[in-house]
Structure 1
Amino acid sequence: MGKIVKVTAFLLFAALVLGACGNLGKNADKPNREDATLVHENEKEGGSLDTGNAYGFNKFDLDIDVDGKDTVEASYEMDRNLEAEYKNKLAGLDLKEDEAMVKLDEMFIDIMFTKDTSQEEAIEKLMTWFGLDTYTEFDLEVHFDDGTLLDFEDKK
């Protein structure tokens, strides 16, 4: 009788183990949970160059006036959704969203702003990038992921 109890216990144990591992319910084709995603703390809003998710800032706003007229306007904001705009009247460009991001990406990668960028350096890099020699008004605002704000305004 001892062997029958052991065999019965083993079969019961095996049935419980196999039953717990199976997915034979009416929702068997549906995943039980979403795949886990590893998210770094600084990737939650905008990311950083270190994580390869963004540019180190989540908001960029640039306005350059030449001879008192809007010449260049560029804006980028990464909150829950991406918003991008790029206007360059000298080049005849008025781009939005994905098309704007192509130009903005080129500029961001080439210029590489950091929270330690000085006003003179930012103006020089952007004026060179846009091929401008002079301006009447220059306004740049960059919000970095760590909360640092660059806010440069200059009028001539």
Structure 2
Amino acid sequence: MKNIVKYGAVLVFALLVLGACGFGKDPDDRNREDATVLHENEKEGGSLETGNGYGFDQFELEIEVDGHDMIEAKYKMDRNMETIYKNQLAGIDLKDDEAMVKLDEMFIDILFTKDTSKQEAIDKLLEWFGVDTYTEFDLEVYFDDGTILDVEEKH
């Protein structure tokens, strides 16, 4: 009999703890009492707003100036994260963690979304790198929702 009372007390305690932790509450219920911030697209993939990333998992940029490769930026999030940040105009050639610091600054400043137009992407990137003219501009951004921003321009 004592064992039944012990197990019953443990079961009641476990239910109280789970209930206090919000077990069983629907996170999508807009009327829940402990809701702070809800993001509708949180389950559809990462975005800057949901804290899961930049909203894309691959970014590749190459800019030629006067026929010479001057700018290269690469961010590829997979098993082996690959990051490159080169700006020959400023004498910068970074890889891995050092490149990620510069890429993070750029991604936060520019805030690419699936709705970013090709011209807007070109303008923002040229401004970021301080480039006035280019002979070739190649950008590919693969967003989490499957859309791709693909820009190929030659002057």
Q: Give the TM-score of the pair, scaled to structure 2.
A: 0.73
Higher CA-based Rg: 1
- Separation in structure 2 between the aligned mates of residue 62 and residue 52 of structure 1, nearest angstrom: 24
Alignment of 1:67-146 (within 5 A): 67-146=66-145
**Code of the aligned partner of 2:2:** L
> CA deviation digits over 1:53-90, x for unaligned, max 9?
21111100000000110000000011234221111111
SS of residue in 2 equivalent to 1:99: helix
Equivalenced residues, count = 124
Distance across 1 between alignment mates of 2:49 and 2:126: 27
CA–CA distance in 2 between the matches of 1:70 and 1:64?
6
State how 1:32-43 maps to structure 2 within 5 Å: 41-43=43-45
Does the alignment pair 1:13 with 2:12? Answer: no
Superposed CA RMSD? 1.9
One-letter amino acid of the structure 2 residue matched with residue 71 of structure 1: M
- Structure 1 residue 125 displacement after superposition: 0.6
Amino acid at match of 2:61: L
- Give the structure-1-normalised TM-score: 0.72
Letter in 1 for 2:117: S
- Out of 143-152 and 106-115, give the one that drifted further: 106-115
Percent identity of paired positions between Structure 1 and Structure 2: 65
Aligned counterparts of 1:142 and 1:13: Cα–Cα separation in 2 = 61
Report the Cα offset of residue 41 of structure 1: 3.6
- The ranges of structure 1 where at least 4 consecutive aligned residues each deviate by more than 3 angstroms after the TM superposition are 11-15, 40-43
Which runs of no fewer than 5 residues in structure 2 stay unpaired?
A: 12-41
Secondary structure of the residue aligned to 2:106 is helix
Q: Which residue of 1 aligns with 2:27?
A: none
- Point out where structure 1 has 5 or more consecutive residues left out of the alignment: 1-9, 22-39
- Determine the C-alpha separation between the residues in 2 that align with 1:124 and 1:58: 22
SS at match of 1:135: coil
